Amino acid sequence: MIKIKFTEWISSFFGGDKTTISLTETQIAGEVQSLEIEMFAIATAIDLISNSISKCSFKTYLKGNEYKGDEFYSWNVQPNINQNSSQFMQKLITELLYNNECLVLDINGQFVIADSFYQSEYAVVENSFNSVVSGTMSFNKTFRMSEVMYFKLGNNDIRRLLSKVIVGYNNLLNMSIGKYKRSGGRKGILDIDATASKDEKFQENLEILMTKRFKTYFEAENAVLPLQKGYVYKEQGGEGSKKSTSEIVDINAVTKEIFERVAQAFKIPPSLLRGDIADISNITDNFLTFCIDPICCMISEEVNRKRYPKNDFLEGSYTRVDTSSIKHVDIFSISTAFDKLIASGGYSIDELRIKCGDVALNTDFSKQHFITKNYQKIETLGVETTVTK
């Protein structure tokens, strides 16, 4: 930057007795670095979603009854020898959201997530996957669609579309950052006498002065700038050296807009992505309804169509992703609702204990469903019903 353009520009001006150069701190330190706020916002959104879904439990059913077997253990405890269920699910969701698709292999009873693959798509026969790589292992075989679990969010790659939308915001953000740095940058004037330019080491001395000495001088809290004969530097003060709050407001506004667009793309309430805690209960409900539930539903559908034959599924054997465990439950705040659910016969004691994170009692009475005498058919009350015509 300075090594070529600056020295060439200076040499063209040495026709007079002295040359004056205006310097700013940003010119000496280098160009403004681009702030990757887009990737930070996307990473924050993906991390929020993956951490939430990793808290979900996979419930397995056999002919309509909840059943804990190998399938339950794989999804809830250890999918493979190198990962626990939370680590596995976080990687699955991250791959899914970042690449819009994720391929999971069943290798001798272990679930393995592919890092890269190539899919051959067909119209009337099942697709195939080849060039599959996971970690340092390459699978030298072709996998049919029926042999794998292939998760895909939709036909549009949200992250790639989002990147195109945010390009303009990134430009605005970098302009605001540059404006902020310039508003507080130190400024000065360097006078170079014509005699100094005639020194045979002029170009070398000037480069050292511009790239090293001035940089150190501007960055240090207290410093002395040694200058050779023929060089005079004058510090420029005044209002231009003071930081302005308007630039910070601009940066915050653009950053907020980027987070808004990322949240909109991933169906996350913007305030939740920004970390606001006001009205957190309703925000969390919206997050679960519009963001988490559709992803979990898609995962359940793919698992069921690949892990259960059609007849078994129709007879009530399936896997369901339970999202109720995402929200923290305070048993004292829901004690009234807890009692109502039991009194109405909606849930047994064991079922509600499990939903609250406690261990089931597994006794005869805790598995039963109760209903109070307040719930009766209207006919038993002796009340005549009439229809108004």
pLDDT digits (tens, 9 = 90+) for 135-146: 999 999 999 999
pLDDT for residue 271 is more than 70 = yes
258 in Cβ contact with 42 (< 8 Å): no
In terms of pLDDT, which residue wins out, 183 or 9? 183
Residue 107 is predicted with a pLDDT of 94
pLDDT for residue 356 is more than 70 = yes
Residue 48 is predicted with a pLDDT of 94
Residue 250 is predicted with a pLDDT of 67
Nearest residue to 23 via CA among 146, 230, 182: 182
Nearest residue to 110 via CA among 140, 137, 130: 137
11 in Cβ contact with 207 (< 8 Å): no
Distance CA 232, CA 191 (A): 5
Residues 201-211 have pLDDT tens digits of: 777 877 878 77
Distance CA 71, CA 23 (A): 68
Contacts of 76 (CB under 8 A, 6+ apart): 57, 58, 85
Interval 44-61 mean pLDDT: 93
Residues 82-136 have pLDDT tens digits of: 999 999 999 999 999 988 999 999 999 999 999 999 999 998 899 999 999 999 9
Place of tokens 């406690």: 358
In terms of pLDDT, which residue wins out, 73 or 354? 73
Interval 298-320 mean pLDDT: 95
Place of tokens 């204990």: 353
Contacts of 13 (CB under 8 A, 6+ apart): 19
Residue 216 is predicted with a pLDDT of 77
pTM comes to 0.68
In terms of pLDDT, which residue wins out, 363 or 17? 363
Residue 28 is predicted with a pLDDT of 42
In terms of pLDDT, which residue wins out, 6 or 178? 178
Distance CA 225, CA 244 (A): 28
* Tokens (6 digits) for 375: 């719930």
Residue 341 is predicted with a pLDDT of 85
Residue 4 is predicted with a pLDDT of 38
Distance CA 180, CA 244 (A): 7
Which residues does residue 188 pair with via DSSP β-bridges, in sequence order?
23, 235
Which residues does residue 24 pair with via DSSP β-bridges, in sequence order?
187
Walk across the sheet containing 18-24 and list its strands: 18-24, 187-193, 231-236
